[in-house]
Structure 1
Amino acid sequence: MQNTESTGAPGAEDGLSAAEAALNADMEALSQQLAQAEAAVAEMRDVLLRERAELENQRRRLQRDLDQARKFANERLLSDLLPVCDGLEGGLAVETSDLAAMRQGMDLTFKALLKVAESNGLKAVRPTGEPFNPELHQAVSMIDSPAHKSGTVVNTLQTGYVLNERLLRPAMVVIAN
């Protein structure tokens, strides 16, 4: 009598070994894929950290530039005003009793100041003789004036100013009734 069990056992062991080998091969392939995915994640994390650092550096640079711009925004205006200050200082240093000469010096200094203001976008609003405009003028009083039409500015009490098309201060005016 032959033992049939022994002839079937080696075939079963070979089948089990082949399955284990296939399983081991699959696990090895999955381990390699996992290692590749972990390497890709680590690389992406590194790129993300670098990008965040670059964005933070750029934000700091922009903030520093903005602070510098605010700090020196009036530099041009103030450097333009220096000759006016020099003129006033020189006028105050002169001791004279000649009122006409002093008035002439003040007039020249005032014209220099207005020139600087106009070159920086400031326009004077002196509306005497013009129709009243509530957007640019502030009526202080009304008077009867046969020489002027009703609603016309008769007198400007205080000059108004417009800075780059925006009202800075309305002109205080007297208008005809």
Structure 2
Amino acid sequence: MKEEQAFQEEKQQNVSTEEATETIQEQEEPVNEAAAMEAQEEDTEVAKLRAEAEEHQQRFLRAQADFDNFRRRTLKEKEELAKYASMKLVTELVPVLDNFERALATAQQGAETESFAKGVEMIFRQFEGVLQAEGVTAMNSVGQPFNPDFHQAIMQVESEEHEEGIVVEEVQKGYMLKDKVLRPAMVKVSM
């Protein structure tokens, strides 16, 4: 009987050990599932944060490229502005240059105005030198093919000396400021 009782107690102890193991396993499964879910959520969040960081990096690189382009563009505009800063002044001075030329042309007709003509010619040369220092040059149009970028045709004339489309006479001089047309030349073109 003692053996049977010992056997029963041992059996009962094994059963309670199994029940305890099952209880522990049942308690661990939710803990393991919760930990697995937490780990999965953390992985998802890490991936989301990495994607955001990559997006921010791309935005930063685009902004930096845009800034570099802006800097280059403004530098180019600034250089061009400095190059042609005197354009307005020179545009207003060109008609004065024309008047000087006209005055010299009429002064050569009379002998008594020789000293006057000499003084006006000196002023003209000085004025012309100032304009040349600013980059203003007169166009040479006569004998050149007509180009609407540089010439303004006011008349077509018949000419046996020149082919068709050649400038035969310059009515008003054209001027260039560095590499830009300041004023096109008024010309007569052969037909």
- When normalised by structure 1's length, the TM-score is 0.53
SS at match of 2:134: helix
Change in Cα spacing, 1:150 to 1:59, as seen in structure 2 (3 Å) is closer
Q: Percent identity?
A: 22
Change in Cα spacing, 1:163 to 1:104, as seen in structure 2 (3 Å) is closer
Judge conservation of contact 2:162–2:168 (CA < 8 Å) in 1.
no
Judge conservation of contact 1:162–1:168 (CA < 8 Å) in 2.
yes
Q: CA RMSD in A?
A: 4.8
Structure 2 residue 189 is the aligned partner of structure 1 residue 175: yes
SS at match of 1:139: strand
Structure 2 residue 131 is the aligned partner of structure 1 residue 113: yes
Change in Cα spacing, 1:53 to 1:158, as seen in structure 2 (3 Å) is same
Measured after TM superposition, the shift of residue 163 of structure 1 is 6.8
SS at match of 2:21: helix
Unaligned runs of 5+ in 1: 83-87, 89-96
Change in Cα spacing, 1:15 to 1:149, as seen in structure 2 (3 Å) is same
User: How big is each residue's C-alpha offset from its partner over 1:86-138, in whole Å with a ceiling of 9 and x where there is no partner?
Assistant: xx9xxxxxxxx8442232222232233134326xxxx6432212343455433
Alignment counterpart, residue 28 of structure 1, candidates 22, 32, 35: 35
Judge conservation of contact 2:151–2:174 (CA < 8 Å) in 1.
yes
Question: Which structure has the bigger radius of gyration?
Answer: 2
Alignment of 1:35-74 (within 5 A): 35=42, 37-38=44-45, 41-42=48-49, 45=52, 52=59, 70=77, 73-74=80-81
Unaligned runs of 5+ in 2: 1-7, 90-95, 97-114
Change in Cα spacing, 1:167 to 1:9, as seen in structure 2 (3 Å) is farther
